[in-house]
Chain A
Amino acid sequence: MSKSIRQRIAEELTGPALPFVAFCIALNLTVGQVTAALKIPLYLDSIGTILVAVLVGPWSAVFCGSAANLLAAAFGNPTMMFFIPVVAVIGTFTGIIAKLGWFRKWYLVCLGGILQGILAALVSAPISAYLFGGVMMAGTDFLVLYFRSVGNTLMDSVLYQGLASDPADKLVSYFIVFLLVKNLPQRLLARLHGAGNIRTPGRTP
């Protein structure tokens, strides 16, 4: 018999998972400090969501991403609220491919990152186009402007911009998470629900 959503969430949220999800939400909100300190032009604001998706499960990842966006809105950036569907998709997709074992092989991680980026672009395009008119006050606005100036509609321009930048961004995020988790001690992983997503049970790195 298939389990209800409540049961699936309860399975994922064991004792250790609760503080870990909280940590990952905080990580989403503060990782910008790390990249800023190193002067690296990356956002990585979904890295916590991806970590939860891999180590805990998809439902927890959806909550992690949504909560991070909610808190970002609460801290003075209300536009983040509108992208909750995007992070929900990131959490769900990543959790599903993690369960399928994609985070055990680097090439599957790369493929997953690219697919995730495409999916994120598809989901965020209508939001950016309809609500923001394609203007996010970011460097990527020039890409949108270019696509519009050569005759594409607003929606298509935003989509093409997303397809140009999101897969690369998500690929990097996925790969960083892969490198972070692949050598984690098994005795620690075993305490989180998604331990089997990192390595085949019975194998140690």
Chain B
Amino acid sequence: MTFRIDLSAKFAFVVLLWVCAFTLPWEYQAALCLLVLAGRFAVPSFRPQSERSSAAFSNFLLYSMAVAFFVILLNSILIRGGSTYGTILGFMLHQEGLFFGLKTASRLLLLTYSILVFFISTPLKELIRFLQQKGLSPSFTLILLLTLHFLDHLPARIHQIFLAQQARGAPVDAGIASRSKALLSLLSPLVLSSIVESIDRGTALELRGFLNRPNDANRVAASTAGWNLLTMLLLLISTIILLAAIYRWLLG
């Protein structure tokens, strides 16, 4: 037994936040959002793994603030009921709409921040290996890892095809109709070359015995790792909150 913030604990934390997002009042959700944001800076396990992750976090923070603002504002204006809280640009802000907007926005922010902090602090390859240990088949694991490989090379290939098509006169700068035709002249060689490469790569994988690969190789490592107390604790709390919410709902 251990007590550490590993991937399973992070997953359990996301599950807990999701349960809270669908069961707790909006004020608690808003507080949890602030807690998650604070955790991103204060807890080493939740810090961004790279510059790119850090930039992605900042960009999404701005985007989410804008979304939350408009969700609250639009619902305050459009859902009428209860008292009014003044006007913005001639539009009245209604109590019912405001609270609906606050509920929706806080839920959305909590859900998205929990996912965001999980991903910015977890290298993708580590996540994929973890999923494989938990039972993801070798084929799906390979597809995910190969996707990361293609994501590194595809932009350059697209650029190459773009230049080649432009050189042979494809109307990449003309009107929308011509540019739409040019779209096909870009996608067609891309798809065709990918099928050819896929056949060769697939053959190479078959020739290395991949399709007959045993499933259990990586699960052995996971089963000897032992249980993480933190994971169990977080899942227990999630279960209690969920059961309490169901009980309250049944009572009406």
A and B directly contacting (CB within 8 A): yes
Interface residues in chain A, defined as those with a beta carbon under 8 Å from any beta carbon in chain B: 9-10, 13-23, 25-27, 29-31, 33-35, 37-40, 47, 51, 55, 63, 67, 71, 73-79, 81-82, 130-137, 141, 145, 148-149, 154, 176, 179-181, 184, 188, 191-192
Enumerate chain A residues within 8 angstroms of B191, measured Cβ to Cβ: 51, 180-181
Is B151 touching A29 in the complex (CB atoms < 8 A)? yes
**Distance A135 CA – B68 CA, assembled complex (angstroms):** 9
- Does residue B20 face the partner (Cβ distance < 8 Å to A)? no
**Distance A59 CA – B70 CA, assembled complex (angstroms):** 37
A13-B139, A188-B195 known; A19-B202 Cβ under 8 A: yes
- Does residue B225 face the partner (Cβ distance < 8 Å to A)? no
Q: Which of the candidate stretches B1-9, B38-46, B175-183, B239-247 sits at the interface with the other chain?
A: B175-183
Enumerate chain B residues within 8 angstroms of A55, measured Cβ to Cβ: 195
**Distance A35 CA – B180 CA, assembled complex (angstroms):** 9
Is B202 touching A37 in the complex (CB atoms < 8 A)? no
Is A35 touching B198 in the complex (CB atoms < 8 A)? no
A15-B202, A15-B205, A135-B71 known; A26-B107 Cβ under 8 A: no
Q: Which of the candidate stretches B26-34, B109-117, B216-224 sits at the interface with the other chain?
A: B109-117
- The chain A residue with its CB closest to the CB of B146 is A22
- The chain A residue with its CB closest to the CB of B69 is A135
A133-B108, A176-B184 known; A63-B60 Cβ under 8 A: no
Nearest chain A CB to B199's CB is how many angstroms away?
4
Interface residues in chain B, defined as those with a beta carbon under 8 Å from any beta carbon in chain A: 53, 55-57, 59-60, 63, 66-67, 70-71, 74-75, 78, 100-101, 104-105, 107-108, 111-113, 115-116, 119-120, 124, 127, 139-140, 142-144, 146-147, 149-151, 154-155, 158, 162, 172, 176, 179-180, 182-184, 186-188, 190-192, 194-199, 201-203, 205-206, 210-211
Nearest chain A CB to B147's CB is how many angstroms away?
4
Of the candidates A16, A37, A82, A145, the one whose C-beta lies within 8 Å of that of B198 is A16
**Distance A33 CA – B147 CA, assembled complex (angstroms):** 17
Is B172 touching A132 in the complex (CB atoms < 8 A)? no
Is A16 touching B115 in the complex (CB atoms < 8 A)? no
Nearest chain A CB to B154's CB is how many angstroms away?
5
Enumerate chain B residues within 8 angstroms of A23, measured Cβ to Cβ: 147, 150, 154, 194, 197-198
**Distance A124 CA – B186 CA, assembled complex (angstroms):** 30
By secondary structure, the B interface counts as helix
By secondary structure, the A interface counts as helix
Enumerate chain A residues within 8 angstroms of B139, measured Cβ to Cβ: 9-10, 13, 18
Enumerate chain B residues within 8 angstroms of A16, measured Cβ to Cβ: 195, 198-199, 201-203
**Distance A78 CA – B206 CA, assembled complex (angstroms):** 35
Max chain B CB contacts within 10 Å: which of A16, A134, A135, A179? A135
**Distance A77 CA – B53 CA, assembled complex (angstroms):** 11
Is A188 touching B196 in the complex (CB atoms < 8 A)? yes
A15-B202, A15-B205 known; A135-B162 Cβ under 8 A: no
**Distance A50 CA – B196 CA, assembled complex (angstroms):** 18
- The chain A residue with its CB closest to the CB of B115 is A78
Is B108 touching A19 in the complex (CB atoms < 8 A)? no
Is A74 touching B119 in the complex (CB atoms < 8 A)? yes
Enumerate chain A residues within 8 angstroms of B188, measured Cβ to Cβ: 180
Nearest chain A CB to B156's CB is how many angstroms away?
11
Enumerate chain B residues within 8 angstroms of A35, measured Cβ to Cβ: 183
Is B186 touching A34 in the complex (CB atoms < 8 A)? yes
**Distance A82 CA – B53 CA, assembled complex (angstroms):** 20
- The chain B residue with its CB closest to the CB of A141 is B70
Is B74 touching A17 in the complex (CB atoms < 8 A)? no
Q: A13-B139, A16-B202 are in contact. List 4 more A-B contacts (CB 8 A).
A: A9-B139, A16-B195, A26-B150, A73-B115
**Distance A149 CA – B192 CA, assembled complex (angstroms):** 48
26 sampled A-B residue pairs with Cβ under 8 A: A14-B202, A15-B202, A16-B203, A17-B198, A18-B143, A19-B201, A20-B194, A20-B198, A23-B150, A23-B197, A26-B147, A26-B151, A27-B194, A29-B151, A33-B155, A37-B172, A38-B183, A51-B191, A76-B56, A82-B111, A135-B71, A137-B66, A148-B78, A180-B187, A180-B188, A192-B195
A40-B180, A77-B60 known; A20-B186 Cβ under 8 A: no
A19-B201, A63-B143, A137-B67 known; A40-B195 Cβ under 8 A: no
